[in-house]
Chains A and B, each alone.
Chain A
Amino acid sequence: MSFLTIEHAVKQFGGLRAVDDVSFSLQRGEIVGLLGPNGSGKTTLINLISGALPASAGTITLNGQQLTGLRRDKIARCGVARTFQLVRILPSLTLIENVMIPAVFGHKAHWGAAADRVAKDALAMVGLSERATMSAGDLTYIDQKRLELARALAAEPELLLLDEWLAGLNPTELEEGIKLISELRDSGLTILMVEHIIDAVRALCPRVVVMNSGKLIADEQTDKALTDPAVVTAYLGEDVDA
């Protein structure tokens, strides 16, 4: 049985169908790239899974538990963690406090020493241990991204949703970022990642799903998808006869 199942998911904004009858599923431990040109509905789909937006129709289930219709905090407590396309940290809290939040309020509900340990482990994973007591508002952009990932990890999630987590990094940082995600993959975490950086997708995801104008246009092996005429057309437009 598949781990995450999305069946006929629809999100309607007035006259616009941002997500239009999308269905696919992930196996436990799988890492899948979610591709598509700007405005194709990728982030909206992430928002449907994490409960930031209610679905207009369709069902999403995680490990047999229906997520559609649940509040954001309940979905988080089902084991879904996410990062945001525009990085969101808690600026008035220290790094360790930032990371401790989902450890305390997430599905494992740690407190005291246990929460502290989970938070420290998560910070160590992204290489921010030494700055644990700094205020999060003072971090640089890349470190804020790291912090956000650490926060998602401290939830000890079953499913991790990454929304362009690698965007905006320089080549060295990108390499580090890819290595970090591959470690998470190797630890058995199930990951659905929205990503525009094709090298990263090739390196990390054996399989991709591709969206265009809200519809799912491909769900196949990464190499195949990237040469699929439908996918190429979606990104580059139709051939125009001169």
Chain B
Amino acid sequence: MTKLIIPLVALVALAFAPNFVSAYGLGLLIGAATYVTLASAWALFSGHTHYVSLATVAFYGTGAYCMAVLNEALPYWAVLLCAGGIGATMAALVGLSTLRLQGVYFVIFSFGLAELVRQLITWYEVNVTGTLGRYIFLDITARDIYWQMLALGAATIALTAWIHRSRLGMALRVIGDDEAVAAHSGINLARVKLIAFVLSAVILTLAGAITSPRYVYVEPAIVFNPTVSFLTVIMALLGGANRLWGPALGAVPLFLVFEWLSANFPDSYPIFMGLLFIGVVFLLPDGILAGIEKLRARRKVQS
């Protein structure tokens, strides 16, 4: 029971948080909620399967573009629905053709996908519509965005918790360990990977759509920035990608650190980012949560 009560209380507290913070504070809350959502959604697929995807921003940017293109034609909720549908379709098509790639090939492919989508949209905007940038003017407050993102993040974590207990979660863990054993045990590899990939992609796309009004002005170079993909991966890895709360635990501090660095050292902050990447991979390859468990186990052995 306490496992359920603490997160619920925290969620309610976070929902009231905008009443107590400045506009800048609210911006930070939105950013943190966004990265918690992105990292958790990324881990939903990649955490157990070890398929490291750098395509996060392909879906995130697509979501933002859906909002930019459709917000004047459709009601807000319909745009979200469209974005989710487009993200799912894109993930299904891409997944069917590429989820048999393994290891580094999948990583490279997913990175290429993000660039491909960005270049396709750029080409389309320049050659067909004739305008590269778009404006998003929506009657939506920063608080609304925050609440929506908070709800999406909570839903993502709840979905992950449910998956961890389901057959799907079990199958994903086996796939991460040994695909041959998984197949010979009766697991339909293609289906399991595709379901998880599509679920993850729908959330990433929705996150892009929800957060896009914050940009006001949208163009491919902004919303398809590969840094978003890299940050998402490193946040999930820092916390522990195969734990329920791992991605959230990694996302909040890293987001705040990057905010502070980019505000105070606008020119040199990519250097710190690189150092952090290296540090996380070297020092905490399995994430903070696993690191704490190891420490505890060692203390137990000593005492």
Q: Do A and B come from one complex?
A: yes
- Flag the segment in B11-19, B93-101, B179-187, B243-251 that touches A: B179-187
Q: Contacts A101-B170, A104-B170 known; A52 to B184 CB distance under 8 Å?
A: yes
Contact of A90 among B167, B177, B183, B188 (CB under 8 A): B177
A72: B residues at CB distance < 8 A? 180, 183-184
Is A105's CB under 8 angstroms from B185's CB? Answer: yes
A52–B180 CB distance below 8 A: yes
User: Which of B171, B176, B178 contacts A88, CB < 8 Å?
Assistant: B178
Shortest beta-carbon distance, A63 to chain B, in Å? 17
Contact with B along A70-91 (1 / 0, CB 8 A): 0111001100011010001111
Taking each of B171, B177, B182, B189, which has the highest tally of chain A beta carbons within 10 Å of its own beta carbon? B177
Asked whether A76 lies within 8 Å of B180 as measured between CB atoms, the reply is no
Question: Are A76 and B185 CB-contacts (below 8 A) given A88-B180, A105-B167?
Answer: yes
**A82 and B177 contact, CB distance less than 8 A:** no
A36 interface residue (CB < 8 Å to B): no
Asked if B174 and A77 sit within 8 Å, CB to CB, the answer is: no
What does the 1/0 interface line of A83-116 toward B look like (CB < 8 Å)?
0100011111100010011101111000100000
A50 at the interface (CB under 8 A from B): yes
A151 interface residue per 8 A CB criterion: yes
The answer to whether the Cβ of A189 comes within 8 Å of any Cβ in the partner chain is no
Residues of B within 8 A of A50 (CB): 184
Q: Is A155 an interface residue when CB atoms closer than 8 A count as contact?
A: yes
Question: Are A82 and B176 within 8 A (Cβ)?
Answer: no
Instruction: Give the bracket for the number of chain A residues in contact with chain B.
Output: 20 to 34
Q: Is the CB of B173 within 8 A of A93?
A: yes
Alpha-carbon distance A90/B178, docked complex (angstroms): 7
Are the CB atoms of A155 and B186 closer together than 8 Å? Answer: yes
List residues of chain B with CB within 8 A of the CB of A105. 167, 171, 185-187
- Identify B185's interface contact among A71, A111, A155, CB under 8 A: A155
CB distance from B196 to the nearest CB of A (A): 15
B174 partner, pick from A76, A82, A84, A93, beta carbons under 8 A: A93
- Cα A50 to Cα B184 in complex, Å, equals 7
Query: Given A73-B189, A104-B167, A105-B167: A90 and B184 within 8 A (CB)?
Result: no
Contact B186 A90 (CB under 8 A): no
> Closest CB of chain A to B290's CB: distance in Å?
11
Residue numbers in B under 8 Å from A151 (CB-CB): 181, 185
Query: Interface code B223-248, partner A: CB below 8 Å = 1, 0 otherwise?
Result: 00000000000000000000000000
Check if B180 sits within 8 Å of A92, measured CB to CB. Answer: no
Q: In whole angstroms, how far apart are the Cα atoms of A101 and B186 in the complex?
A: 9
* Contact in complex: A101, B174 (CB < 8 Å): yes
Taking a contact as CB atoms under 8 Å apart, the answer to whether A90 and B181 are in contact is yes
Contact status B185-A106, CB under 8 Å: yes
A-B pairs with beta carbons under 8 Å apart, 23 shown: A51-B184, A52-B180, A72-B180, A72-B184, A73-B186, A76-B184, A88-B178, A89-B178, A90-B173, A90-B177, A90-B178, A90-B181, A92-B173, A92-B177, A93-B177, A97-B170, A101-B170, A101-B174, A101-B181, A102-B185, A104-B170, A151-B185, A155-B185
Q: Which residues of B does A touch, CB under 8 Å?
A: 167, 170-171, 173-174, 176-178, 180-189
A-B pairs, top 5 by smallest CB distance, nearest first, are: A105-B186, A72-B183, A76-B186, A90-B177, A102-B185
Q: Which residues of A contact B (CB under 8 A)?
A: 50-52, 71-73, 76-77, 81-82, 84, 88-93, 97, 100-102, 104-107, 111, 151, 155
Given A90-B173, A101-B187: 18 more A-B contacts, CB < 8 Å: A71-B183, A72-B183, A72-B184, A73-B184, A73-B186, A73-B188, A73-B189, A77-B186, A84-B180, A88-B178, A90-B177, A91-B177, A93-B177, A97-B170, A101-B174, A101-B182, A102-B185, A102-B186
